[in-house]
């Protein structure tokens, strides 16, 4: 599933081609996504100016002033800039047409979303209870320390809890914990201020590096320009079970936690268990 770096890469790719322009036409070839595309969406946005293209967590938000279109890329979707006349493929379900160019939503599994929210987008039920953005000031060591107090949940699960911090999915949680030298199964409540600060910095560094590389392309993801991402070439642990650690040379391990694959280096990420917080 596209995570925060892939969605941010998409946002940066489509923004220059659509922001500030008039939507001339909405083409919905297949409204049957995870939730149906609203039948009245074209009537709401055709002829209106796209004021802003922004992102909240893993959602792309197309702000048309009176309301916003909320787009989620699902499991394997993409939103690309294409010539409006380019013939659609089998899985090209929605086009936002701006004159000679279009933003085209491709979603082979139809697990994505195209929804409408009148007024402020962040009051929509999908967005209203989200935690802070990991690249913004609200996500800091103090916040992570406060929201993890008393928690016996593995710290990797806490990082992936969108009520505590948004957009850190399975790949980037594993990579961030490696950079912070913290075992993924360590109880979140055992992390003291120093390790919380280290982890916050690692999350930011990992996400920033991934965005710079255009995100990760493991299967189908391409950015707004149709190009794949390359961050997977920089992975320290994710998907590298049995390979040598790039730091210590020991073998990377894979375990399953909460039905998700988790990768780590047993040497670089030694588990402290319930030792006093430091």
Active-site amino acid positions? 2-3, 58, 260
- Is residue 109 annotated as involved in ligand binding? yes
Strand order in the sheet with 25-28: 25-28, 92-98, 101-106, 78-83
Query: How many whole angstroms separate alpha carbon 33 and alpha carbon 111?
Result: 6
Q: Are 115 and 30 in contact (CB under 8 A)?
A: no
Is 219 known as a binding-site position?
Answer: no
Question: DSSP string of the chain?
Answer: ---HHHHHHHHHHHHHHHTT-B--EEEES--BSSSBPPTTHHHHHTT-B--EEEEETTEEEEE-SSEEEEEE-TTT-EEEEEETTSPP-TTEEEEEEETTEEEEEE-TT---EEEEEES-GGGSTTTTT----TTSTTSSHHHHHHHHTT--SBHHHHHT-TTTSSS--HHHHHHHHHHHT--TTSBGGG--HHHHHHHHHHHHHHHHHHHHTT---SSS---TTSPPP-GGGG-SSTT-TTSBPTTT-PBPEEEEETTEEEEE-TTTT---TTPPP-
Residues tagged in the binding site annotation for DNA: 91, 109
């Amino acid at each position: 599933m596209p995570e925060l770096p892939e969605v941010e890469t998409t946002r940066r790719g489509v923004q220059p081609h659509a922001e500030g322009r008039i939507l001339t036409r909405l083409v919905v070839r297949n409204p049957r996504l995870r939730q149906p595309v609203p039948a009245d969406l074209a009537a709401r946005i055709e002829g209106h100016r796209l004021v802003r293209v922004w992102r909240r967590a893993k959602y792309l938000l197309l702000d048309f002033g009176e309301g916003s279109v909320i787009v989620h890329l699902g499991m394997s979707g993409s939103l690309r800039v294409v010539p409006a006349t380019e013939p659609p493929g089998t899985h090209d379900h929605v086009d936002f047409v701006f004159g000679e160019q279009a933003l085209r939503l491709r979603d082979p599994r139809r697990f994505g979303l195209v929804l409408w929210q009148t007024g402020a987008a962040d009051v929509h039920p999908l967005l209203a209870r989200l935690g802070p953005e990991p690249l913004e000031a609200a996500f800091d060591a103090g916040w992570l320390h406060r929201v993890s107090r008393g928690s016996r949940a593995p710290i990797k699960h806490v990082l992936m809890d969108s009520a505590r911090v948004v957009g850190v999915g399975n790949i980037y949680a594993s990579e961030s914990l490696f950079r912070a030298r913290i075992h993924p199964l360590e109880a979140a409540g055992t992390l003291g201020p120093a390790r919380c600060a280290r982890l916050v910095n690692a999350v930011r560094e990992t996400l920033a590096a991934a965005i710079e590389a255009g995100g990760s392309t493991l299967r189908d993801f391409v950015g707004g320009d149709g190009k794949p991402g390359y961050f997977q070439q920089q992975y320290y642990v994710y998907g590298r079970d049995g390979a040598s650690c790039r730091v210590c040379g020991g073998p990377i391990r894979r375990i399953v936690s909460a039905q998700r694959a988790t990768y780590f280096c047993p040497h670089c990420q030694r588990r402290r268990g319930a030792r006093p917080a430091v």
